[in-house]
Amino acid sequence: MREIHTDSIVSAVENLFIDANINLSQGVFDALSQAIEKEESPVGKEVIRELINNANIAKAERMPICQDTGLAVTFVEVGQDVHVVGGGLAEAIAEGVRRAYKNGYLRKSCCDPFSRKNTGDNTPPIIHTHIVPGDRIKIVALPKGGGSENYGEVRMLVPSQGKEGVKAFVLDMVTKGGPNPCPPIIVGVGIGGNFETSALLSKEALMVPIGQRNPDPATAAFELEMLDAINRTGIGPQGYGGTMTALDVHIKMLPCHIASLPAAVNIQCHAHRIKEVVI
Amino acid sequence: MEIKRIQTPLDDSAIEKLKAGEKVFLNGFIFTARDSAHKRFFEALDKGEELPFDMRNQIIYYCGPSPAPPGKAIGSCGPTTSGRMDAYAPRLIALGLKGMIGKGKRSQAVKDSLKQHKAVYFGATGGAGALLAKCIVSSEIVAYEDLGPEGVVKLGVKDLPLFVINDMYGNDLYEAGIGKYRR
């Protein structure tokens, strides 16, 4: 058993959320740089140029890339040979989030669903935990803004709808969102599993690096087919018209019940903030 | 692309020159207001009370910034989705509001008001909060401080980069852009 003290988890989570919100990851930065070349609309090119300038300014001035610094989503892989000491794992993650949003001057965007009263410290975070072999803890921070999250949905399709049904669903969500989720977007698609698993798969799909294809060749081809269809909608950067509506589409798939075809779409904005650490 | 410089307050002749699809650099002063501030504007109007600022020839920015770090006028301050303010905008435009800055589509009622009263809807690039913050030279809270990031703040802006989305002639950059690049 390896012991990990909650103090190191608190400080790791604090650093991750500040870093993610201020420093755009290189993969996203490179994808935006390539998108300028591919974009056909002059207005679209100008928008992407602004986004690249923005990322540079955010880094230099230590300002959040976007004022919507999101709900604090975390994916945590806990090695089964780890013993957390000093307190609870979930409370340590929450404390890290609390410190990050205070000390990093990040916006607190978490409130009661009906009274809309702000919780004041951006807690509770969203925590997805997986138990894995080994004696380490891996934490991925994915601060997620409201504009893009609002265009997510789970649909229980009929098996006969097949691939075409999933594709139509994805295009429907992208079109419905139009400019609101801040294109160029990244589209996560969860297929199979059951109702709740499909939603989680769609979010996990967003963690796949831009440009990396699904290891299954047929699924990889389906990703590219949907990316092409999305980029033919004409929505473009910020919805002002253009050919770069999405930077990538990622699919995560699991077997499902013989009677079902669950599918979920989770959209991410161009400010795709993601950072990870292994303790 | 070509960039036009404009200065607040905006009068009818300034509005007449703006066309959907143009990029502009805005200079002067603008006022932030989003969901809760608009609700309070309406409560004040319904009671016959004065608004925190005179709407005539002014611009509202739909924005809820992140907290200002030490030494900065403001935190990251990109636009929020404008559609949520559609229910409020026509009445404020009728009172003389000349411009709104945000992101996302507006309702037909808002677009009709732009035509009827000569006003425009600008888009600021969503998610470019650090870039936009760099164009803000001063910040002064004018009302509803208790609303936190939703309070009304008067911002001094220098070359704030915007696109004209809806002009007073009924043109819509979203519709025109999609029409042009749909394959």
**CATH number of the CATH domain containing B106:** 3.20.130.10
Residue A184 Cα, gap to closest chain B Cα (Å) = 11
Domain assignment of residue A45, yes or no: no
A163 and A212 in a single domain? The answer is yes
Interchain proximity A54–B103, CB inside 8 Å:
no
Mean pLDDT over all residues of chain A? 97
pLDDT of residue A115: 84
Nearest CA in chain A to B122: A240
Residue B162 Cα, gap to closest chain A Cα (Å) = 10
pLDDT of residue B146: 85
CATH number of the domain encompassing residue A200? 3.30.1330
pLDDT band at A244 (very low <50, low <70, confident <90, very high): very high
A259 and A175 in a single domain? The answer is yes
Interchain proximity B69–A41, CB inside 8 Å:
no
**Domain-terminating residue out of A98, A129, A144:** A144
pLDDT of residue A48: 97
**Domain-terminating residue out of A112, A144, A176:** A144
B127 touches chain A (CB under 8 A): yes
- Closest residue to A57, CB basis, from B67, B134, B183: B134
A6 and A137 in a single domain? The answer is yes
Residue with the bigger pLDDT between A121 and B148: it is A121
Q: Containing domain of residue A208, as a range? A: 147-271
Mean pLDDT for the stretch of residues A42-58: 97
Residue A74 Cα, gap to closest chain B Cα (Å) = 21
A137 and A183 in a single domain? The answer is no
Domain assignment of residue A168, yes or no: yes
Which amino acid, one-letter code, is at A153?
E
pLDDT of residue A114: 86
A90 and A129 in a single domain? The answer is yes
The structural domain count of chain A equals: 2
Strand, coil or helix: B131: helix
pLDDT of residue B145: 87
A83 and A190 in a single domain? The answer is no
Catalytic residue among B8, B37, B38, B111: B38
A106 and A228 in a single domain? The answer is no
Instruction: In whole angstroms, give the CA distance from residue A86 to residue A88.
Output: 7
A264 and A235 in a single domain? The answer is yes
Mean pLDDT for the stretch of residues A8-30: 97
Q: Give catalytic status of residue B117 as yes or no.
A: no
Peptide bond before residue A143 is cis, with ω within 30 degrees of 0: no
A129 and A112 in a single domain? The answer is yes
Residues 6+ positions from B43 with CB-CB distance below 8 Å: none
Interchain proximity A240–B66, CB inside 8 Å:
no
Contacts of B182 in chain A (CB under 8 A): 232-234
Q: How many CA atoms lie within 13 A of B173 on its CB side?
A: 31
A167 and A246 in a single domain? The answer is yes
pLDDT of residue A110: 93
Interchain proximity B174–A46, CB inside 8 Å:
no
A128 and A201 in a single domain? The answer is no
A125 and A16 in a single domain? The answer is yes
pLDDT band at A116 (very low <50, low <70, confident <90, very high): confident
The structural domain count of chain B equals: 1
pLDDT of residue A256: 98
Label residues B155-165 b or e (16+ Cβ within 10 Å = b): bbbeebbbbbb
pLDDT of residue B142: 93
Contact A261, A140 (CB under 8 A): no
Q: How many CA atoms lie within 13 A of A240 on its CB side?
A: 27
**DSSP structural state of residue B81:** B
Interchain proximity B21–A43, CB inside 8 Å:
yes
Q: Report the DSSP beta bridge partners of residue A157.
A: A261
- Candidate ranges A105-109, A264-268, B145-149; pick with highest mean pLDDT: A264-268
Mean pLDDT for the stretch of residues A237-257: 98
Mean pLDDT for the stretch of residues A200-207: 98
Q: How many CA atoms lie within 13 A of B85 on its CB side?
A: 27
Domain assignment of residue A135, yes or no: yes
pLDDT of residue B78: 94
Q: Containing domain of residue B31, as a range? A: 3-181
Contacts of B86 in chain A (CB under 8 A): none
| The two three-digit tokens of residue A112, written as one number | 């009661």
Instruction: In whole angstroms, give the CA distance from residue B128 to residue B136.
Output: 13
Domain assignment of residue A234, yes or no: yes
B37 touches chain A (CB under 8 A): no
pLDDT tens per residue, range B94-121: 999 999 999 999 999 999 999 999 999 9
Instruction: In whole angstroms, give the CA distance from residue B113 to residue A132.
Output: 58
| pLDDT tens sequence for chain B (183 residues) | 889 999 999 999 999 999 999 999 999 999 999 998 999 999 999 999 999 999 999 999 999 888 899 988 899 999 999 999 999 999 999 999 999 999 999 999 999 999 999 999 999 999 999 999 999 999 999 999 888 778 899 999 999 999 999 999 999 999 999 999 999
Domain assignment of residue A36, yes or no: no
pLDDT tens per residue, range A165-188: 999 999 999 999 999 999 999 999
**Domain-terminating residue out of A113, A144, A175:** A144
